[in-house]
Amino acid sequence: MTRVDALLGWARKYSLFMYPFVTACCGMEFMSLQSPRFDLARFGAEAPRFSPRQSDLLWVVGTISQRQAPVLRRIYEQMMSPKWVLAFGTCASCGGFYDNYTTLPGVDKIVPVDVYVPGCPPRPEAVLDGLLLLQDKIARGERRPRVVCPREDPVAKAAELVRLRRAADDPRTLLPHLRAIDVDSPAGDGRGGVA
């Protein structure tokens, strides 16, 4: 029986029929996934189905308002089983920067989400990582939600960030330094707006 489950998991992993529920600006990044550069066909998820009865992967792409929530719930209920949900972008994952009564604070309030792909908008590489996470979940038969982690730790790059202001006790001590930079500018005219 274990071998049959593994075979079914492998077959489901490479035959995802997706239903895109695109509502906002993340739709542009979703469209770029269909381009030859990223090529979703190699993952078995290239052909979108615009009927929920023919799909098993729901891509929630963008902001979901309170008025759209019942429609999204109905679409999820009409999908064939087993079904999976991928939350594409920050707005679908947690409501994004919208902090008002009209925006749903994450689609997990109305449908269970399997993979969260954060970002505003998420990079296509992050979405492909999310799709690979989902395929791994499907093959293993897991049902707990997963989150796509960043490829690089932003805290490790904090030392490389540009400081906008040098440390000084008195801000007037910066003026000679700024004048020296202005004189050494490529224009060479010495006029850079520093008085």
Which candidate, 20, 26, 29, places its Cα nearest to that of 48? 20
Is pLDDT above 70 for 79?
A: yes
Contacts of 93 (CB under 8 A, 6+ apart): 87, 106, 107, 113, 116, 117, 118
The CATH code belonging to domain 2-147 is: 3.40.50.12280
Domain boundaries, the chain: 2-147, 163-195
Q: What is the pLDDT of residue 163?
A: 62
pLDDT of the residue at 135: 87
Which residues are CB-neighbours of 16 under 8 A, at least 6 positions away?
43, 44, 45, 56, 57, 84, 134, 135, 138
- Burial class of 94 by CB neighbour count within 10 A (0 to 12, 13 to 18, 19+): middle
| Res. 194 pLDDT band, cuts 50 70 90 | very low
Q: What is the mean pLDDT of residues 84-92?
A: 89
The pLDDT score that the predictor gives to residue 182 is 66
Q: Among residues 85, 56, 54, 82, which one has the least CA distance to residue 141?
A: 82
Mean pLDDT rounded to a whole number for the chain: 79
Q: What is the pLDDT of residues 41-76, one digit of tens each?
A: 777 777 777 888 888 889 899 888 889 999 999 999
Does the predicted TM-score (pTM) go above 0.85?
no
Structure tokens at 87: 């939350």
Closest CA to 95 of 86, 108, 112: 108
Could you count the other beta carbons within 10 Å of the beta carbon of residue 122? 24
First to last CA, the chain: 81
- Model confidence over 96-150: pLDDT tens digits? 887 788 888 889 889 999 999 988 888 888 888 888 888 888 888 787 888 887 7
Note the pLDDT of residue 74: 93
